[in-house]
Structure 1
Amino acid sequence: MIRIGANPICWSNDDMTEIGGDIPLEQCLAEAKAIGIEGMELGNKFPKTAEALKGKLAEFGLAFISGWYSTFLLERDADAEFSAARAAIALRKDAGAEVLIVCECTRTVHGTKSAPLSSRPVMSEEEWALFLPRMTRFAELVREAGLQLVYHHHMGTVVQTGAEIDRFMAGTGEAVQLLLDTGHATWAGADPVDLATRHADRIGHIHTKDVRAAVAAEAAEGDWSFLDAVLEGVYTVPGDGTVDYPSVFRALPDYAGWVVIEAEQDPEKANPKQYVTLGYANLVRFLDEAGLRRAA
């Protein structure tokens, strides 16, 4: 079954906390519930303990999905990474999550407003040889701890392009699953339908955001940073851009899990309730068109 969730980044940004910084957590959760959202991912305004986190979400009838964890496996081995991640893993598991969302953030530029995307890190052959087995081992340790690792490819990081995603998946073991992010894939020049088709049996989580192609082109021409492009509206909710969502979902006939709206925009320009309402309605329609069953 499919469940539709949301990430609070639709209301308040984590990379630039001043974006939506004035929007109370309670407003975010109340609006999400009213729209039809069933669960939420983690954000900077959420309680910091599992008990308090579950309690706050329960006030609004929402489930906890999971939250981002930054790995640094180019700098430390899997055992050291696992030791560093223990608290994050425990919080997510105890709050009811089934997956751990990870992204390799060594030398990333996605959170640096002054760094153009053209300066993002690209791994050497030696780094790939180091990184892939470390990620596999880390995922195995995470699985032993009770969560499934899902890897979030992301603009500005070492796994950004379609070719890098394919190499990552080919070089890691079955303990590693993919978080398919339609927006990051599209902006990076990859076709999310092709990615879904190739990696269908290892996709464990889905983030849905759409891309405004004109803004993406302007960002490339102007050598913008990730955050500058976000502020200018490169991302929007599903159905408001160029992604062919029915084809993405038709490529995943056996997928069961969360489909999360994670479309960061400037709330001063794009009202979060209005846009998440639009994205939710579009997702319901796209899932129905693809014949995927949603949880009752």
Structure 2
Amino acid sequence: MDAAASPTPALDRIRVGSAPDSWGVWFADDPAQVPWRRFLDEVAEAGYAWIELGPYGYLPTDPARLREETARRGLSVSAGTVFSALHRGPAVWDETWEQVSRVASLARDTGARHLVVIPSFWRDDKTAEIVESPELTAEQWHHLAVGTERLAREVRDAYGLTIAVHPHADTHIDTEAHVERFLDATDPSLVNLCLDTGHYAYCGGDSVELIKTYGERIGYLHLKQVDPAVLAGVVEQGTPFGPAVRQGVMCEPPTGVPALEPVLAAAQGLGVDLFAIVEQDMYPCPPDQPLPIARRTRAFLRSCGA
């Protein structure tokens, strides 16, 4: 058989989903965002079976109601998401745990097994004002590592969830050097990574190399691509992440980088079941924009074998 005609290998360890983020949802309540019912209707219509909770309070927070709303659309919840500032030390633990408990409880009660943990921004997420140094001190790195391990243990013990820490632009876990420092400082039996292909490329990292080097630490995937032309301007101008998104730095696959086919193949090669959740940052966006993109993205991922 001609190799070009060979069927695409099935990525049978990859479970594809999407998230409110791909519908322009960044906040629990914002008139610029599509209503939650429309998101659920359209994500199912686009062909996805898995979703994330998004910002706490965007989707119904009563687990029975949310289970009913998702089940009748053929959807299941893969994870919840929280933000944390654990580099600030024990003083922020109670505040962190209060937020984590709400999200982890809802995630557990809707059948999810994962909690995605995003480090806090060193810029204000709305004004882009720099509020902290982009570089942590040695003491802050220690607080971050110890605090994350504590969070992983307590989330596991209280809610039966595993955490996946999400390297993210404009946070302290962003570049290859920062991601490797964080992984090397934390217990592999407790702390996994949510590899977001777009954020990692935005910050200069190579997702395939990260999977090859730290494969045992990859517990979850976010699928995203960056427009290299827009990114070049962002880097040159020092544009904050929020305005960069409004400029279209995150783009529809397969038009950007990294190529997702080798990322998915490398993830499949790990031999473990992984969620791969599509997240195309595009806040704010016209309400009719997300569904056609979501349909095309789902078709593209099917063409990759997912």
Structure 1-normalised TM-score? Answer: 0.88
Distance 2:202 2:142 in 1: 26
Equivalent residue, structure 2, for 1:276? 294
Equivalent residue, structure 2, for 1:291? none
Letter of the structure 2 residue corresponding to residue 147 of structure 1: L
* Pairing 1:1-296 to 2, within 5 Å after superposition: 1-15=13-27, 18=30, 20-21=32-33, 23-44=34-55, 45-77=58-90, 80=94, 81-82=96-97, 84-105=99-120, 108-109=122-123, 111-115=125-129, 121-145=134-158, 146-173=160-187, 174-252=189-267, 253=269, 254-265=271-282, 266-268=284-286, 271-286=289-304, 288=305
1:31, distance to aligned residue in structure 2 (A): 1.7
1:121, distance to aligned residue in structure 2 (A): 2.3
Higher relative contact order structure (alpha carbons within 8 Å, sequence separation ≥ 6): 2
Instruction: Tell me how large the CA RMSD over aligned residues is.
Output: 2.3
Identity %: 27
SS in 2 for 1:67: strand
Distance 1:20 1:5 in 2: 23
Distance 1:8 1:246 in 2: 23
1:126, distance to aligned residue in structure 2 (A): 1.7
1:95, distance to aligned residue in structure 2 (A): 1.2
Distance 1:7 1:258 in 2: 12
SS in 2 for 1:238: coil
1:199, distance to aligned residue in structure 2 (A): 1.6
Indicate if the aligned counterparts of 1:19 and 1:267 stay in contact, CA closer than 8 A.
Answer: no
Indicate if the aligned counterparts of 2:80 and 2:104 stay in contact, CA closer than 8 A.
Answer: no
1:269, distance to aligned residue in structure 2 (A): 9.5
Letter of the structure 1 residue corresponding to residue 185 of structure 2: G
In terms of mean alpha carbon deviation, does 277-286 or 192-201 score higher? Answer: 277-286
Distance 2:256 2:174 in 1: 20
Gaps of at least 5 residues in structure 1 are: 289-293
Structure 2-normalised TM-score? Answer: 0.86
- Taking a change above 3 Å as real, the CA distance of residues 165 and 208 of structure 1, as seen in their structure-2 partners, is same
Distance 1:204 1:192 in 2: 14
SS in 2 for 1:214: helix
Distance 2:134 2:157 in 1: 31
